[in-house]
Amino acid sequence: MDHRAQCWAQTSQFIAQVQDIGDEIGMPYIAAQADLADPNPMSDEAGVPYALSTFRWINPDSEYYRDRKLALSEPFLNACRLSAEPFYFRDGQFHMNRASHLLSSIDCSHIHESILSSEAIIVPVHQPRSMLGTIIWCAKDAVGVEDIFRHHAARLQYLAVQLISTHNEARGRPRNAPILQRLTRREAQCLRWAAAGKTDSEIGIILDLSISTVRFHLRNAASKLGATGRTQSIQLAAGLGFIGAV
């Protein structure tokens, strides 16, 4: 058995575990997406959505997984974009194990109309190369999600990360980079300011370099990253963590 097939086999084991743990904790309705930017549902090797083959949903008749706005309700997705931690949904709000304002700005007022669930545990999965996925465990009625979350968040998160990582490796997407050359200090600095939208001449002023030098460093950085042009450099460097926070 070659490696890809092995990854697919491992993936279906993780899929089963995800459903099992959902049944165990009383939140058996599950939505999963390895890449939120992908309009297609997350599917197995044969192209069958896991939502068909394994995962159950609150309303079994709805092809919820085809309309991602319904399944992975927009506020849930946006919350995933902003949080690295797992969190849960109850009483129309997001919560986690600590006091946080990260998710307080998200408008949840229309969730109940689109997702027929009162309580849910959401695990965002931020991945290399700027890929973002999520797994959501839902309950139909109130099951005391706060306690469930406190006891199982760590397991759920680790399982979610493993499933999505394995699934991605099986799909060969994102493509794994063969080499990783070291970026010099100057190259990283120029990239960071370029990502902030600065022009070459602005970067030159900021770092006290001439335009030519800024161009020199950006060119070298692009070549090390295997990128063609500034935008792709930014995309690759950001996805590998070379750029960092604003």
In whole angstroms, the minimum distance from the beta carbon of 81 to DNA comes to 17
Within 10 Å of residue 92's Cβ, how many Cβ atoms?
A: 12
- Give yes or no for residue 182 binding DNA (CB under 7 A): yes
Q: Are residues 8 and 44 in contact, defined by beta-carbon separation less than 8 angstroms?
A: yes
**Residue 114 binds DNA, judged by CB under 7 A:** no
Report the partner that residue 195 touches, choosing among a copy of itself, DNA, none (CB closer than 5 to 8 A by kind). Answer: a copy of itself
* Residue 126 C-beta-side C-alpha neighbours within 13 Å: 14
Tell me the window of 19-27, 108-116, 136-144, 162-170 that interacts with a copy of itself (CB under 8 A): 162-170
Partner that binds at residue 165, options DNA, a copy of itself, none, CB closer than 5 to 8 Å by kind: a copy of itself
Q: Is 103 near DNA (CB under 7 A)?
A: no
Task: Answer for the pair 49, 39: CB distance below 8 angstroms, yes or no.
Answer: no
CA torsion 229→233→235→240, rounded to 10°?
160
Q: Which helix (H) or strand (E) holds 211?
A: helix 211-225
- Residue 215 near which of DNA, a copy of itself, none (CB within 5-8 Å, type-dependent): DNA
The binder of a copy of itself chosen from 121, 165, 167, 203 (CB under 8 A):
165
Q: Which stretch binds DNA (CB under 7 A): 42-50, 118-126, 139-147, 206-214?
A: 206-214
26: its two tokens: 């009383």
153 binds a copy of itself (CB under 8 A): yes
Residue 64 beta carbon to DNA: minimum distance, rounded to whole angstroms:
17
Alpha-carbon distances, residue 71 vs 54, 75, 119, 176 (angstroms):
15, 11, 14, 30
Return the residues of window 211-240 that contact a copy of itself according to CB under 8 A.
227-232, 234-235, 238-240
Total residues belonging to the chain: 246
